Amino acid sequence: MTIKQPFAPAYGSGQTVTPAAAAATVTLTKGSKQVILTNLGTNVCYVRIAEGTVANASTADFPVPPNWQVPITKSEQADKLSHISSAGTTLHIMNGEGF
């Protein structure tokens, strides 16, 4: 049986980035099992999470809809997130636990 808990943010780990037509990468804090993504803009963006070197995100990766918040479970060692948005947007990224 899975016990769900509310998302507990890792305060101080938040980053706000501006995904654009060219993919870019940010560093995440190792040790957390989830990351919560909040698309603050009006265009979809796509993300890919990995440990070490991450391939550039593309439209074949995980979409974060505009004006939406989604939690993603990741490996505790995953420390890179690549993001892209062909029309541009603003994305807030925060590590944490639970969802």
CATH classification of the domain holding 26: 2.60.120
Q: Report the alpha-carbon distance of residue 74 to residue 28 in Å, rounded.
A: 11
Does residue 27 form part of some domain? yes
pLDDT value at 1 more than 60: no
Residue 4 lies in a domain: no
Tell me: the pLDDT tens digits for 27-36? 998 999 999 9
Asked if the structure places residue 11 within a domain, the reply is no
Provide the domain limits for residue 83: 16-93
pLDDT in tens, 42-85: 999 999 999 999 999 999 999 999 999 999 999 999 999 999 99
**9 pLDDT tier (thresholds 50, 70, 90):** confident
pTM score of the predicted model? 0.90
10: in domain: no
Residue pair 78/50 in contact (Cβ under 8 Å)? The answer is yes
